[in-house]
């Protein structure tokens, strides 16, 4: 026996954890971890039961009566695409009648009463709107009825009452809006019922299986069902496949699947389910496939999936949910592009790079702070602003250090802790730290740009800020940045898990499950405040360079020349800011437009693009300053003198 979360390598005594099974790589010595990985529940089972080897019939027509425009082979008639307005007359011993892609609009009473040997009837892609209650009378041998792609809006009570041998009923892509128990009266042999892409709003409150005791496969994908009631599926003990994908299900009553002991395949993907009863899957011991893609499960727990002892394939919206089903061999997705089953950071390059960037940011900014403190400057207010900006940039390095540290902590078993990590206070605090760093850095750079703009564009107006004004401005920026970072903590109902939507705890990407309040807030920050700051910076530097070009020939003041030099140095800082923020603006806009964005892109943006400006700023602040260059020359000269 293997421990929980591990599975055997075939008949060997070796056990491997869930992530190493069905991952495309051979980990077992005998390769058993990559065997039986294909999910073949459902269709093969259905076709094994019904698509049996048929007795080869003669191709010579065995019917006396059939339209000249149609094709006859044995006792089968093919009238597909002949623009027929009515069902044509054929010999009564016909066994298969194909009338697809014609212009039939209605089926009248006793239309098929003569065809007691008919086994298969195709009426797809017509314009059928009305079907008489006794339209199918006499079809006692009919096994398959295809009515897809018509305009049927309702099913009258008893409409199929004579079809006691019917096994397949296909009603896909019609306009059926409601189901009544009596609509399926008489279908005692029905095995497969498909109502794909209709407008069904709800199941009947009485059991749908009462009139269809042998119902094995129920296909209801693409309807607008909002609720599932336990009474609707009472006594559905023969059901093995239930497909409810792409509906609007928000509520599933406790005990809905209680009578489905034979269920093998359950699909409730792409619905709006708000909450799952903890014991919803209690009696589904034979279930092999469970699909819950695009479904948020706020109350997910290991207990919920523990009864599913035979489950081999499970599909979630978020890969971290796989940690709650350790008894399932194949769980998808096994990554979100940011994290994987094994590691918080899925990409090995970024797992290393996060430490490199964090070290560069912290070392560079601390070095600049120390250097600015040691070297005397004529403009102390400007130095204060640069030190403050370095502190904000340094926080980005601290954020990356924490991400790297937790990546090491969860190395090899991240999936077991993923959900807990993203909901933890640690993740929230680290995310808020990154937000604080980002916003203070943006606002600080905007403040310094505007200060230089006033000094250069209006050099004689004495707009230079004093010490008190500078301190007040810097304090206000830090206070505003702190408020922006902590606001999502105040109201969980509005913001949800604002910072914990991914493993790196940064709220850059928006999707359909994000709360409206959180989406509006992140949009206001990234496409409101930050975009406004970026536009102001671009406008300020455009004006500054226009002013420099205009006054270059007449300006002689040394102070003015010094301001121009500083402005040129700041241009490169702003340029790097643009390289960082333009991709982020585009990413945010695309996510709001519901464009699918790979998690790997988000990871590269958060780990590489977002902090790269924090890493480059210290270089621009030091190497481009004359004070640093003079100090470096003095040090080198002193060293040379000592050597000689």
- Residue 53, pLDDT > 50, answer no
Copy the structure tokens of residue 164. Answer: 């006691």
Q: How confident is the model at residue 443 (pLDDT cuts 50, 70, 90)?
A: very high
Q: Which tens digits make up the pLDDT trace of 621-635?
A: 666 666 666 766 776
Copy the structure tokens of residue 512. Answer: 């359909």
Q: How confident is the model at residue 558 (pLDDT cuts 50, 70, 90)?
A: low
Q: Which tens digits make up the pLDDT trace of 581-590?
A: 888 888 888 8
Provide the domain limits for residue 599.
348-635
Q: How many residues make up the chain in this entry?
A: 644
Give me the mean pLDDT over the 431-460 stretch.
86
- Alpha helices per DSSP H over 599-625: 599-604, 610-623
SS (H, E, C) 85-114: CCCCCCCCCCCEEECCCCCCCEECCCCCCC
Q: How far apart are the C-alpha atoms of 408 and 345, rounded to whole Å?
A: 10
Q: How confident is the model at residue 338 (pLDDT cuts 50, 70, 90)?
A: confident
CATH number of the domain where residue 420 is located: 1.20.1070.10
Residue 265 lies in a domain: no
Q: How far apart are the C-alpha atoms of 444 and 326, rounded to whole Å?
A: 48
Mean residue pLDDT of the chain comes to 85
Q: How confident is the model at residue 381 (pLDDT cuts 50, 70, 90)?
A: confident
Burial of 286 (0-12, 13-18, 19+ CB in 10 A): middle
Centre a 10 Å sphere on the Cβ of residue 476 and count the other Cβ atoms it contains.
12
Give the per-residue pLDDT at 12.
67
Q: How confident is the model at residue 369 (pLDDT cuts 50, 70, 90)?
A: confident
Residues in Cβ contact with 408 at an 8 Å cutoff, skipping those fewer than 6 apart? none
Q: What is the b/e burial string over 525-535, where b = at least 16 CB atoms within 10 angstroms of the residue's CB?
A: bbeebbbebbe
Give the per-residue pLDDT at 57.
61
Residue 413 lies in a domain: yes
Q: How confident is the model at residue 478 (pLDDT cuts 50, 70, 90)?
A: very high
Residues in Cβ contact with 481 at an 8 Å cutoff, skipping those fewer than 6 apart? 392, 436, 439, 440, 443
Q: Greatest CA span in the chain, whole angstroms? A: 119
Residue 588 lies in a domain: yes
Phi, psi of 577 (to 5 degrees): -60, -40
Give the per-residue pLDDT at 639.
66
Residue 354 lies in a domain: yes
Least confident of 48-62, 274-288, 324-338: 48-62
Least confident of 281-290, 311-320, 404-413, 551-560: 551-560
Residue 619 lies in a domain: yes
Give 90 or 491, the one with higher predicted confidence: 90
Residue 218 lies in a domain: no
Give the per-residue pLDDT at 630.
72
Q: How confident is the model at residue 570 (pLDDT cuts 50, 70, 90)?
A: low
Give 544 or 273, the one with higher predicted confidence: 273
Give me the mean pLDDT over the 305-321 stretch.
90
Q: How confident is the model at residue 293 (pLDDT cuts 50, 70, 90)?
A: very high
Least confident of 67-71, 451-455, 532-536: 451-455
Residue 403 lies in a domain: yes
Q: Which tens digits make up the pLDDT trace of 520-547?
A: 999 999 999 999 998 998 888 778 777 7
- Residue 457, pLDDT > 90, answer no
Q: How far apart are the C-alpha atoms of 137 and 156, rounded to whole Å?
A: 14
Copy the structure tokens of residue 317. Answer: 């919206």
H helices, E strands: number in the chain? 14, 19
Residue 417 lies in a domain: yes
User: Reduced to 3 states, what is the DSSP secondary structure of residue 355?
Assistant: helix
Give me the mean pLDDT over the 262-277 stretch.
93
Q: Which tens digits make up the pLDDT trace of 101-154?
A: 999 999 999 999 999 999 999 999 999 999 999 999 999 999 999 999 999 999
Residue with tokens 């390059």: 349
Query: Can you name the residues that pair with 302 across neighbouring β-strands?
Result: none
pTM of the predicted model as reported, rounded to 2 decimal places = 0.76
Closest CA to 97 of 74, 128, 127: 74
- Residue 35, pLDDT > 60, answer yes
Count of domains observed in the chain: 2
Give me the mean pLDDT over the 409-415 stretch.
87
Least confident of 184-198, 238-252, 279-293, 330-344: 330-344
- Residue 404, pLDDT > 90, answer yes
CA 329 to chain centre: 22
Is 330 within 8 Å of 17 (Cβ atoms)?
Answer: no
User: Reduced to 3 states, what is the DSSP secondary structure of residue 73?
Assistant: strand
- Residue 513, pLDDT > 80, answer no
- Residue 484, pLDDT > 90, answer yes
């Amino acid at each position: 026996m293997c421990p929980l979360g591990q599975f055997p390598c075939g008949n060997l005594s070796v056990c491997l954890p869930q992530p190493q099974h069905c991952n495309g790589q051979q980990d077992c010595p005998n390769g058993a971890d990559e065997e039986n990985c294909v999910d073949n529940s459902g269709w093969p089972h259905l076709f094994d039961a019904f698509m049996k080897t048929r007795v080869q019939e003669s191709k010579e027509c065995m019917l006396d009566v059939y339209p000249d425009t149609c094709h006859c082979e044995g006792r089968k008639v093919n009238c597909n695409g002949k623009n027929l307005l009515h069902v044509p007359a054929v010999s009564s011993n016909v066994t298969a009648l194909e009338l697809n892609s014609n212009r039939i609009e209605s089926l009248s009473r006793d239309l098929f009463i003569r065809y007691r040997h008919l086994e298969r009837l195709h009426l797809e892609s017509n314009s059928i709107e009305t079907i008489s209650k006794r339209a199918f009378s006499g079809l006692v041998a009919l096994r398959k009825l295809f009515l897809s792609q018509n305009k049927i809006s309702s099913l009258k009570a008893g409409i199929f009452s004579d079809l006691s041998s019917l096994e397949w009923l296909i009603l896909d892509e019609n306009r059926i809006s409601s189901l009544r128990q009596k609509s399926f009266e008489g279908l005692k042999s029905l095995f497969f019922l498909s109502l794909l892409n209709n407008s069904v709003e709800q199941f009947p409150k009485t059991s749908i299986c009462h009139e269809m005791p042998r119902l094995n496969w129920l296909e209801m994908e693409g309807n607008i069902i909002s609720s599932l009631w336990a009474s609707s599926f009472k006594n559905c003990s023969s059901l093995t496949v239930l497909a409810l994908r792409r509906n609007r299900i928000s509520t599933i009553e406790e005990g809905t699947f209680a009578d489905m002991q034979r269920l093998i395949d359950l699909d409730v993907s792409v619905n709006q389910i708000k909450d799952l009863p903890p014991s919803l899957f209690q009696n589904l011991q034979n279930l092999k496939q469970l699909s819950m893609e695009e479904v948020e499960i706020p109350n997910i727990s290991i207990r919920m999936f523990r009864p599913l002892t035979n489950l081999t394939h499970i599909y979630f919206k978020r890969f971290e949910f796989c940690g709650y089903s350790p008894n399932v061999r194949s769980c998808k997705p096994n990554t979100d592009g940011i994290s994987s089953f094994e590691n918080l950071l899925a990409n090995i390059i970024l797992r290393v790079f996060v430490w490199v960037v964090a070290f560069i940011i912290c070392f560079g900014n601390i070095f600049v702070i120390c250097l600015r403190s040691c070297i005397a400057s004529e403009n102390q207010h400007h130095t204060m602003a640069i030190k403050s900006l370095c502190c904000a940039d340094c926080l980005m390095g601290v954020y990356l250090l924490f991400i790297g540290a937790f990546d090491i902590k969860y190395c090899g078993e991240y999936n077991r802790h993923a959900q807990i990590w993203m909901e933890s206070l640690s993740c929230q605090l680290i995310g808020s730290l990154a937000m604080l760093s980002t916003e203070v850095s943006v606002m600080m750079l905007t403040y310094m740009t505007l200060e230089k703009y006033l000094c250069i564009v209006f050099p004689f107006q004495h707009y230079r800020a004093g010490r008190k004004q500078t301190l007040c401005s810097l304090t206000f920026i830090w206070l505003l940045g702190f408020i922006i970072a902590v606001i999502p903590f105040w109201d969980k109902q509005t913001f949800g898990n604002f910072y914990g939507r991914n493993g790196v705890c940064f709220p850059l990407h928006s999707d359909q499950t994000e709360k409206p309040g959180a989406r509006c807030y992140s949009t206001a920050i990234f496409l409101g405040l930050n975009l406004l700051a970026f536009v102001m910076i671009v406008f300020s530097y455009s004006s500054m360079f226009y002013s420099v070009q205009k006054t270059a020939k007449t300006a002689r003041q040394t102070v003015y020349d010094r301001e121009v030099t500083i402005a040129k140095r700041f241009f490169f800082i702003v340029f790097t800011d643009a390289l960082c923020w333009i991709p982020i603006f585009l990413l945010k806009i695309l996510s709001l437009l519901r464009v699918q964005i790979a998690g790997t892109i988000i990871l590269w943006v958060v780990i590489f693009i977002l902090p790269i400006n924090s890493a480059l700023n210290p270089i621009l602040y030091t190497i481009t300053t004359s004070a640093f260059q003079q100090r470096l020359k003095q040090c080198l000269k002193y060293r040379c003198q000592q050597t000689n």
